[in-house]
Amino acid sequence: ATIVYSDEHDCYLRLDQSDIERLIALVRLKSRVWLRPLVLNNRQVSLPPVITNPLIEQMVQNVRPESVLSYVRRLQRYRTRYSTSDSCRAAAEWIRQKFLAYGCDSVYFEYHTSGHAPNVIGIRYGTAGQRNPYAIIDGHFDSYAPSNAPGADDNASGVAATLEACRVMQPYRFSRDLRYIAFSGEEFGLYGSEYYAARARSRGDSILGVLNFDMIGYVDAMPEDLQLVTKIANPPCGPFSDWFTAVADTYTNLICTKYMVNDNQNSDHGPFWNNGYVAFCGIEDFWPVNPYYHTAGDSIGAGYNNNDWCTEVTKAAVAALATLGQPVPVNKPLVGFLRSRVQDSAGNNNGFWDPGESVAVYVTLKNFGMVTATGVSASISTSDPYVTLFSATSGYGSIAPQETAVSLQPYLMRAAANTPREHVVSFTMNIVSAESSWVTSFDLTIGRYLVTDPVPDGPRQPPLYWAYDDIDTGYAQHPVFNWVEIRQQGTRLNYAHNDDVIVVNLPAGFGPIYFYGQRYTQVSVSADGWVAMGNYTTRNYTNTSLPNSSAPRAAVFANWDDLDPVVAGAVYYWHDSANHRLVIEYDSVAYYNPNTVREKFEIMFYDTTLAPASGDNVIMLQYLTANRYTSSTVGIQDQTQTVAICDLFNGTYAHGAAPIAPRRAIRMVTELTGVAESAILSNRHSSQSLVRGALYLAPAEYVPGCALYDPAGRQVLELKPGLNHVGSLPAGVYFVYRGRESSRAVIVR
């Protein structure tokens, strides 16, 4: 081939048609360059709301792992599904027969490229009587390897999701048309999908969205996430991926991560993008890390190694396609859960269910059917050890077709005081009417995090480190941005390679760093935006989520990305002895690609004289710029690589984490409450000066900003000198915060 252009990541080739098969043999991701004008579509997609629907719940529950595995096993038995082979054409016929058996109203072959197996298209007609708009689920059924090509993961797995969706949706009717498509010629350069998408555009087809699944059966490490490869600009696919994530969260346990790209067309979503349609590619890892990719080892047990995870992806796919199709209720009542509302007026009345709080829960049911449900009642149950139910049954009266009703009596319950934050409680709901009965479920979260809440480490409980943003102003531990410029007085680290790690001995007078209880006398500063405790010189520029065994151990990640201080910028460190801190500054450091984008941020370790009771050092991250942070990891990880705070990973923020922005500060500290001293201040006032339901604060003890905090570190009252009325607060233990260094009194009402 002739190399037209190349850079560090991509190589553009011009070659004859006869050389394409030789190119395919290279174990690399490949796609053809689109040589036609792109169809512009900058309109936001109008997607149906994500509301729990009992019909869709039934479909999801009917997805069977043994069924998914049977499809992969059958397709693998063709030995090779090379797109031009007879066995690939035989596989196409088998898929066609499955679509017919699973109730498609129309099934046909779509021939696209001479010598190649055809696309297989199954259509379910909607009750609306209009062929547009319609929704698509697809996967390519051709495979590639130099000889034997079982293609279990790539891509019998995606076809299995498409077939299973067709099977479980067979008994139901939908308002919109649905299309189940198995594409061929993908390995040659998206031949089948390019042909279909171009014809759809020329026909004027309106497509709600394209759910393309390619390689969803290999798990390199749990918990695995489904990466949604999403186009940034034209068409605007971000909302579509966000919508799918919401569907997955509603109906499954699948973790989804949006992977934003400018233009990547290495699977069958690409031609739909080029023709102005909204689509994403659901894939186990992008780029693929499956070691059996395009080899004879891509078979069940090797390249396809986790059928349960593939099944979970399939459940999310079914839920999304069914939501797009809008299920039509059968001619009888169908009552299901719609939403819930928590009333915590007996607690702190913040609208959320917090640990230790008793709440009243009002549940709204909806009759999705076409016949009235009479005499409806519902009882709830849970096996959650943190929850005590006091009142578990309520009436609803009669519910007319398509109407809703709220529980006449609330469900009463209490959460244990030691319930972990963001603990999800699952309830089973048994609904009964004169006509029928139904079983459904719903979840409630105890201790929700707001963007103004700190982020704990995990997954263990209780947390040790917490991350406070500068906007967490309701907490005494929140930091204040105060940039420390060390370019003049600091020591520059001279990196010979853009991914080097340099070990720095802690300066005399600073003392050791204690991190998760371990003592360190050195730090290892990576050019790629992270600092590990101790001597750790392994290069690592490929960021991951946290915790992760692939990430550096015992490390702080301020902006873990592929950075390049050799090309532009510099890294300095300086011991600020007057303020008891070691400052490491990344001064206008360039990204590796594009190296025209720079970032300026710093990590500060405070010495043990300012450490909280645990003895672990306080850590500060500060950001002077925020020019990218779309492919970065921000957080910390312990030495076991199993406990971490992951504030940010590839554009997705943890609950409670504020977005990285200019003048953002994050404080990592092993203390939740904001009490800097554990000593209890003895009461210096006589009993005559105390009033029931009030707190007395002597003028001499008052400083500006003095406040009362609950044990979780939330500010509940700003204090003034003299008597402060606290009678409206629940009984318990509170802390008086009197400035940065003088949190002293423990007050018991």
- pLDDT(688) > 80: no
- pLDDT(460) > 60: yes
The 8-class DSSP code of residue 689 comes to: G
Region of poorest pLDDT, from 97-101, 126-130, 367-371, 427-431: 126-130
| More confident call, 693 vs 397 | 397
Amino acid 4: pLDDT: 76
Q: What is the pLDDT of residues 523-547, one digit of tens each?
A: 999 999 999 999 999 999 999 999 9
Region of poorest pLDDT, from 242-251, 311-320, 479-488, 686-695: 686-695
Q: What is the DSSP string of 340-400?
A: EEEE-TTTT-SSSB-TT-EEEEEEEEEE-SSS-EEEEEEEEE---TTEEEEE-EEEEEEE-
- 689: confidence class by pLDDT, cuts 50, 70, 90: very low
The mean pLDDT value for 177-204 works out to: 94
The mean pLDDT value for 173-193 works out to: 94
Amino acid 622: pLDDT: 98
Q: What is the pLDDT of residues 279-303, one digit of tens each?
A: 999 999 988 899 999 999 999 999 9
Amino acid 422: pLDDT: 81
CB atoms near residue 604 (< 10 Å): 23
Amino acid 447: pLDDT: 86
Region of poorest pLDDT, from 115-119, 150-154, 613-617: 613-617
Distance in angstroms (rounded) separating the CA atoms of residues 555 and 390: 46
- 44: confidence class by pLDDT, cuts 50, 70, 90: low
- pLDDT(741) > 60: no
- 734: confidence class by pLDDT, cuts 50, 70, 90: low
Q: Distances from the Cα of 229 to the Cαs of 236, 238, 639, in angstroms?
A: 12, 9, 32
- pLDDT(749) > 50: no
Residue 585, both tokens: 């500054």
Amino acid 269: pLDDT: 95
The mean pLDDT value for 265-284 works out to: 93
Task: Give the residue from 378, 350, 355, 353 showing the smallest Cα distance to 444.
Answer: 353
Q: What is the DSSP string of 32-79?
A: PPP-SPPPP--PPP--------HHHHHHHHT--HHHHHHHHHHHHTTS
User: What sign does the dihedral 282-286-287-293 (CA atoms) show?
Assistant: negative
Q: Which residues contact 686 (CB under 8 A, 6 or more apart)?
A: none
Q: What is the pLDDT of residues 655-677, one digit of tens each?
A: 889 999 999 999 999 864 332 22
Distance in angstroms (rounded) separating the CA atoms of residues 253 and 197: 32
| More confident call, 606 vs 715 | 606
User: Which residue matches tokens 């850590």?
Assistant: 619
- pLDDT(684) > 80: no
Q: What is the pLDDT of residues 425-441, one digit of tens each?
A: 999 999 999 999 988 88
Share of the chain above pLDDT 90, in %: 65
Burial (CB count within 10 angstroms: exposed 0-12, middle 13-18, buried 19+), residue 711 = middle
Task: Give the residue from 285, 117, 92, 82 showing the smallest Cα distance to 187.
Answer: 82
Amino acid 9: pLDDT: 66
The mean pLDDT value for 488-502 works out to: 96
User: Which residue matches tokens 């969706």?
Assistant: 165
Task: Give the residue from 443, 455, 465, 601 showing the smallest Cα distance to 531.
Answer: 601
- pLDDT(397) > 90: yes
Amino acid 691: pLDDT: 44
User: What sign does the dihedral 241-459-445-673 (CA atoms) show?
Assistant: negative
- pLDDT(351) > 60: yes
Q: What is the pLDDT of residues 437-459, one digit of tens each?
A: 988 888 899 987 777 888 989 88
pTM of the model: 0.56
Strand partners, 586: 571, 601
Residue 344, both tokens: 């915590």
Q: What is the pLDDT of residues 2-32, one digit of tens each?
A: 887 776 667 878 888 778 878 877 777 677 7
Amino acid 349: pLDDT: 83
Amino acid 747: pLDDT: 44
The mean pLDDT value for 595-604 works out to: 96
The mean pLDDT value for 97-117 works out to: 95
Strand partners, 633: 560, 649
- pLDDT(139) > 80: yes
Distance in angstroms (rounded) separating the CA atoms of residues 11 and 522: 41
User: Which residue matches tokens 């099944």?
Assistant: 311
Amino acid 693: pLDDT: 58
Q: What is the pLDDT of residues 503-518, one digit of tens each?
A: 999 998 898 999 998 9
- pLDDT(43) > 70: no
Q: Which residues contact 748 (CB under 8 A, 6 or more apart)?
A: 732, 733, 734
Q: What is the DSSP string of 444-473?
A: EEESPPPTTS-EE-BSSSS-S-EEEETT-T
- 731: confidence class by pLDDT, cuts 50, 70, 90: low
What is the enclosing helix (H) or strand (E) of 138?
strand 134-140
Average pLDDT along the chain: 88
Amino acid 627: pLDDT: 94
Distance in angstroms (rounded) separating the CA atoms of residues 25 and 162: 27
- Calculate Rg over the CA atoms of the chain: 29
Region of poorest pLDDT, from 24-28, 88-92, 465-469: 24-28
- In this structure, what are the phi and psi dihedrals at residue 27, rounded to the nearest 5 degrees? -80, 75
- pLDDT(623) > 90: yes
Amino acid 469: pLDDT: 95
Query: E-strand spans in 477-597?
Result: 491-493, 501-505, 513-515, 518-520, 522-526, 530-533, 555-560, 563-564, 570-576, 581-591
Task: Give the residue from 278, 67, 92, 310 showing the smallest Cα distance to 181.
Answer: 92
Amino acid 332: pLDDT: 83
Q: What is the DSSP string of 561-596?
A: S-EETTTS-EEEEEEEGGGTEEEEEEEEEEESSSTT
Distance in angstroms (rounded) separating the CA atoms of residues 650 and 260: 9
